[in-house]
Structure 1
């Protein structure tokens, strides 16, 4: 058996990411969520659970982020039913929203590198 370039779980995760991004931007109107960005989706091999990694534009405090994640968790049923109209799957996976801090960590690393370079040039 020849291995495929993308597994089924990768293809499903990619499609979920695209559709979730649209749903969160267009359908979720709660101001506590703000402007969410779906950065990645990891789905289990049995397609039952999906971790959705999101970041929130303008939400910096831990309390704001926790509240936004809570709103998304409460809206999971609505989000799943909306997904089901767009993606044909036998079972729509449970969605688990997680805050992705990779962008913030990247900015910190970038500023540290810039500081180190400026010290080297002095």
Structure 2
């Protein structure tokens, strides 16, 4: 029961923060290719670990993460307005690199497949 509740709250926080990044936050340091990948709320609902993915250079990633941390007070206030909870979770922003890892692994698989195809073609000749 508690697990379902924290999942619902996590999804709601994800929607709220995605909307804030898209429409409300005007900080130029926040990259336009920023997405909220996942939100994990602690069982006591005190903290929300928010995993952010930014497509771009390392500098853009760092700047976006800094800007989101700087705006965490505003984000928490907006979360409190939209969530009907006794206590609004403290947002903790973390960089999510799962998309980059997926792209890297996909590229490795493609290279291996190309090499195997080249090896097969040279053996058949």
CA distance in 1, matches of 2:85, 2:20: 17
CA distance in 1, matches of 2:62, 2:109: 30
* Structure 2: tracts of 5 or more residues without a match: 119-125
Q: What corresponds to 1:52 in structure 2?
A: 50
1:14 Cα deviation from its structure 2 partner? 1.0
Selected match of 2:109 from 91, 110, 113: 113
**Structure whose CA Rg is larger:** 2
For 1:1-122, what aligned pairs fall within 5 Å after superposition? Answer: 7-35=4-32, 36-57=34-55, 59-61=56-58, 63-122=59-118
Output the TM-score relative to the length of structure 2: 0.87
Question: Would you identify which runs of 4 or more consecutive aligned residues in structure 1 move more than 6 Å?
Answer: none
Q: RMSD of aligned C-alpha atoms?
A: 1.5
Aligned residue-pair number: 117
- Residue by residue over 1:21-73, the C-alpha shift from the partner in whole angstroms, topping out at 9 and shown as x without a partner, is 1111111111111222101001100000011001123x322x33222211111
- Residue by residue over 1:93-113, the C-alpha shift from the partner in whole angstroms, topping out at 9 and shown as x without a partner, is 011101111111100000000
Output the TM-score relative to the length of structure 1: 0.89
Q: Which has the higher helix share?
A: 2
